Chains A and B, each alone.
Chain A
Amino acid sequence: MDQLGLARLQFGVTTVYHFLFVPITIGLAFLIAIMETIYVRTGKEEYRPLIQFWGRLFLINFAVGVVTGLLQEFQFGMDWANYSRFVGDIFGAPLAVEALLAFFMESTFIGVWNFGWDRLSKKVHLLAIWLVAIGTMTSGFWILTANSFMQEPVGYQMVHGTAQMVSFGALLTNPQLWVEFPHTILASYLTASFFVLAISSYQLLRHHYPDLFKFSFRLASIVGLISAVLVIVVGDLQATHLETSQPMKLAAAEALWNTTSQHAPWSVFAIVDAKAQKDYAQIQIPDMLSILAYKRLSGAVEGIHQVQAQYVKKYGPGNYVPPVAPVYYTFRLMIFAGTAMLALAAYAVYLLKKSRFAEKRWFLRVLEWSLVLPYLANSAGWIMTEVGRQPWVVYGLLSTAHGVSSPQSVSATDIALSLSAFALVYGSMAIAAIYLFRKYTFMGLDPTTNQPESVTDKDILLAGSKS
């Protein structure tokens, strides 16, 4: 693979990996904050170990999210120096604001929360977790402000071949941002809801503290259902927005080689052959794509060939078609996973009446396994969004090939070395994280085992005798 290919692979792998940990952080902080609010308002002391249980799982996750985020910030300069020079004063600003406004807040107050159980009043402690929840969400907002500029550049002017910011307000009112941000945040709440549902189901199946885990099950199924509905509504708006902002991505997501008739059908599934530029074994719903794209029964959707021809006219000769098959399949994977989560959350809420969910053991078993769904949907969503943007790194302004660092500074060997280093580090971290997740999930709330390292009398005597 060449230098550009390696840099892209590194970015893709590290970003998708980072995003395995981000949504759960955003969503779980929010759910824990709600639980703690209920705990403080009702004064039910038995909720405290439950909140601490979720807090431990949160922290195992948060640690990896933070440290992989560091690499995310640095690698724009490392692997994508020319991109950084091109958009530096637009793209850097939201990153810096994120650090100042959000990241300081979440990192500081998660320390306060974790260590402050016995040092702070209940209300201040509750405030700390809300600040963490707001911080993680704000963090997402600023990162997506930066990403939205790459998808849909606004508020800039070109000066000497670089993009310069002329309106900060335009960055914040970017239409792309206002479909992308709610979609991502809601997907995070959905992710955390399924995380809590899956683990609560596990505990309920084994009759571990059923009253407590029924409480978290209830909360997660309600938040899960609301966010599943909203994530689909906003996702639909996002797809509609593509029609105007990135018609090529929409065409690729549908594997639509040629412009459709006025009544465009939606392809449920097809086998995409990008070489022959044809789709086989189509299963279609008539008129559905027109409805999705225009919110009415008719309307033609442009095909890849037609958009390509327009882009050649607009940007000069070149190939403007992204890899169609991955975009098509990941888009479907996201939609199917999202729909499945909606159905599961709806059924869970339906069972809430009279707490019948605890008796439906088959359903709890399904929920245990459903944990994989949000991860599939999140990763697929990002792959679809970012691969569908190719060959642009900044849509219509800078191609990915021009954004990479100069090979004089960063050779293919350098990137290959770093990629293997990060693969090793990330791989071993994943193993450790999954191991701990399982261990702490299995351990549950059992007070004799939930703190394997709590200080025993023997420890104190030992330390005391030597000092």
Chain B
Amino acid sequence: MLNVFWFILIAVLFVGYFILEGFDYGVGMIYPLVSRNDHERRMAINTIGPLWSGNEVWLITAGGALFAAFPFWYATLFSGFYLALVLMLVGLIFRGVAIEYRSKMATESWHRIWDILLRTGSFLPALLWGVAFANLLQGVPINAQMNDVGGFWSLLTPYTILGGVLSLLLFLAQGASFLTLKTTGELRAASLRMAKTLLTSVLIVALAFGIWTANLPTLDHRATYDLLTGLGWLSLFAARWMIQNRQQWAFLLQSLMIALSTSGFFVGLFPHVMISSVSSHDDLTIYNAAANPYTLHVMTIVALTMVPIVLAYQVWTYWVFRKRITPQEHLEY
């Protein structure tokens, strides 16, 4: 029971992480494309200014929960995807520092350096998460000692690259949509145009990736997966239709798409956590990769107490910073 609970909780943490950091990775990638001057670039960065570090903790918590509840999954996954994770971490490190440091000097060359790092640092995780998740569904070469022996290049197949493109586009669209909600004037107009184009391409790639996934031999619970991705396409389609006049609803529908596709992934994987392409005997499941029942029990109590509190104050933060960023505003970043 608790094994299932923790699998669901980790899925929830990833859903939260992808929705929240989805838009701030998106903003980090497209702000140079939708702004015409440095002031507008700063306005765009300030839309995520007070929120991004709180968002990133969703990843840190997901990582911690993975370690605590499924230590064997954590160990095999993180050592197996070693170089990809190094790339992602380098990206995340540069990104966090770039947001904080970019505005600390007024010279153009200083801004240019941090712009490059912020863009790259948002791009790498946005792309790599799709690649990683697609690999988990497709299966990776895990041997009897629970070691992934594939190496970096084996992570890249046409299917996993398509997965990467999908997450990249989803997050880009999410970022563009977020900017239409949080800004005014020309910056907002440019973001709106961007969001419309992006939503069309996400729809196409999501369709292709969804159909491909539905035909993977490794997929469990195919019917539920089909239902979830189907609903995902519908919400994305609705978002595309609504973005012109109702950006709030479009943003929510896009978030719903991220939630549905992420849950689709976890449903498709369940009860596996990592599928071995060598032999099904070497698959990691929520049972053989888990911590002992006592740890799961303790952690369940902690999670049930803390998660509602965390959610409450994070919602409060979003409420405090709900206003649009205007050109007249004092910009922190």
Binding site for B on A (CB under 8 A): 59-60, 62-64, 66-71, 73-74, 76-79, 81-82, 84-85, 87-93, 95-101, 103-105, 107-112, 114-116, 118-120, 159, 164-166, 168, 405-406, 408-410, 414, 417-418, 421-422, 425, 429, 432, 436, 439-440, 452-455, 459-460, 462-464, 466-467
A62–B101 Cα distance when bound, in Å, is 11
Determine the distance from Cα of A118 to Cα of B214 in the docked complex, in whole angstroms. 51
**In contact, B310 and A67 (Cβ under 8 angstroms):** no
Residues of chain B with a CB closer than 8 A to A91's CB? 67
- Residue of A whose beta carbon sits closest to that of B186: A467
Which B residues are in CB contact (< 8 Å) with A463? 37, 39-40, 185, 327
**A91, chain B: closest CB distance, angstroms:** 7
Nearest CB in chain A to that of B297: its residue:
A168
**B211 within 8 Å of A by Cβ?**
no
CB pair B105–A452 under 8 Å, yes or no, is: yes
Contact check, B86 vs A418: say whether CB atoms are below 8 A apart. yes
A104 to B85 Cα, complex, angstroms: 22
Contact of A81 among B51, B75, B143, B149 (CB under 8 A): B75
* Cβ contact within 8 Å between A98 and B90: no
- Give min CB distance, A149 to chain B, whole Å: 13
Q: Is the CB of A425 within 8 A of B79?
A: no
CA distance A111 to B55 in the complex (A): 11
Residue pair B83, A418 in contact (C-beta under 8 Å):
yes
Say yes or no: B50 contacts A92, CB within 8 Å: no
B106 touches A453 (CB 8 A): yes
Pair A93/B298 contact, Cβ less than 8 Å:
yes
Complex alpha-carbon distance, A298 and B182, angstroms: 71
Q: A88-B291, A96-B65, A417-B86 known; 20 other A-B pairs, CB under 8 Å?
A: A67-B96, A70-B60, A77-B79, A84-B75, A92-B69, A92-B291, A95-B67, A96-B302, A99-B60, A99-B64, A100-B306, A108-B314, A120-B320, A159-B292, A414-B83, A453-B106, A462-B39, A463-B185, A466-B185, A467-B186
Q: Is B50's CB under 8 angstroms from A114's CB?
A: yes
How many angstroms from the CA of A439 to the CA of B103 in the assembled complex?
A: 13
* Interface magnitude class on chain B: 35 or more
Task: Tell me which of B63, B187, B328 contacts A74 (CB under 8 A).
Answer: B63
List 27 A–B pairs whose Cβ atoms lie within 8 Å, in order of A's numbering: A70-B93, A71-B93, A74-B63, A77-B78, A88-B75, A89-B68, A92-B291, A99-B60, A100-B302, A104-B310, A107-B57, A108-B317, A111-B53, A119-B321, A165-B298, A405-B82, A406-B147, A409-B148, A421-B90, A425-B94, A436-B105, A454-B331, A460-B328, A466-B36, A467-B185, A467-B186, A467-B327
Enumerate chain A residues within 8 angstroms of B50, measured Cβ to Cβ. Answer: 111-112, 114-116
Q: Is B303 an interface residue (CB 8 A)?
A: yes
Query: Is B306 touching A101 in the complex (CB atoms < 8 A)?
Result: yes
- Point out the residues of chain B lying under 8 angstroms from A89, CB to CB: 68, 71, 291-292, 295
Determine the chain A residues whose CB is within 8 A of the CB of B332 once the complex forms: 114-115
Q: How far is A168 from B82 in the complex, measured between Cα atoms in Å?
A: 31
Q: Judging by beta carbons under 8 Å apart, are B93 and A425 in contact?
A: yes
On whether the beta carbons of A107 and B71 are closer than 8 Å, the reply is no
- In the complex with contacts A63-B96, A405-B79, A96-B68 CB distance below 8 A: yes
Q: Which residues of A contact B306 (CB under 8 A)?
A: 97, 100-101
- Contact partner of B97 among A63, A77, A97, A462, CB < 8 A? A63
Q: Within the complex, which residue of B54, B64, B79, B89 is in contact with A111, where a contact is CB–CB below 8 Å?
A: B54
The verdict on B108 contacting chain A, using a C-beta distance below 8 Å, is no
Across the A-B interface, how many residue pairs have beta carbons closer than 8 Å? 268
CB distance from B162 to the nearest CB of A (A): 25
Main secondary structure of the interface of A (DSSP, over half): helix
Residues of A within 8 A of B105 (CB): 436, 439, 452
- Chain B residues with CB under 8 Å of A159's CB are 292
Q: Which of A79, A92, A408 contacts B71 (CB 8 A)?
A: A92
Q: Which listed residue, A59, A69, A454, A467, touches B100 by the CB 8 Å rule?
A: A59
The interface residues of chain A lying within 8 Å CB-to-CB of B184 are: 467
Are A164 and B37 in contact, CB atoms less than 8 angstroms apart? no
Q: Complex formed: what's the CA distance from A229 to B66 in Å?
A: 40
Q: Which residues of B contact A116 (CB under 8 A)?
A: 50, 320
Q: Which of B72, B79, B331 contacts A410 (CB 8 A)?
A: B79
Is B313 in the interface zone, CB < 8 Å from A?
A: yes
The smallest C-beta distance from B71 to any residue of chain A, in angstroms, reads 2
Asked if B302 and A66 sit within 8 Å, CB to CB, the answer is no
Inter-chain contact B90/A425, CB cutoff 8 Å = yes
Question: Cβ of A408: which chain B residues have Cβ within 8 Å of it?
Answer: 143, 145, 147, 149
CB neighbours (8 Å) of B328 from chain A are 455, 460
Interface of chain B residues 277 through 333 with chain A (CB within 8 A): 291-292, 294-295, 298-299, 302-303, 306-307, 310, 313-314, 317, 320-321, 327-332
CA distance A425 to B295 in the complex (A): 36
- The interface residues of chain B lying within 8 Å CB-to-CB of A77 are 67, 74-75, 77-79
Beta-carbon nearest neighbor of A85 in chain B: B75
Tell which of B54, B80, B148, B303 touches A104, judged by Cβ atoms closer than 8 Å.
Answer: B54
Q: Shortest beta-carbon distance, B88 to chain A, in Å? A: 9
Q: Which residue of B69, B74, B146 has the most chain A CB atoms within 10 A of its CB atom?
A: B74
Indicate if B220 sits at the interface (CB-CB under 8 A).
Answer: no
Q: Is B42 among interface residues, defined by CB-CB distance under 8 A? A: yes
Chain A contacts of B320 at CB under 8 A?
A: 112, 116, 119-120
Residue of B nearest to A88 (CB): B71
Q: Which of A84, A104, A436, A466 has the largest count of B CB atoms less than 10 A from its CB?
A: A104
Whether A436 lies near B90 (C-beta < 8 A) is no
Query: With A96-B65, A115-B49, A455-B330 known to touch, is A70 a contact of B89 (CB < 8 Å)?
Result: yes
B317: chain A residues within 8 A (beta carbon): 108, 111-112
Bound CA span A453–B102, Å:
10
Report Cα–Cα, A421/B92, bound state, in Å.
13
A319 to B172, CA, bound (A): 55
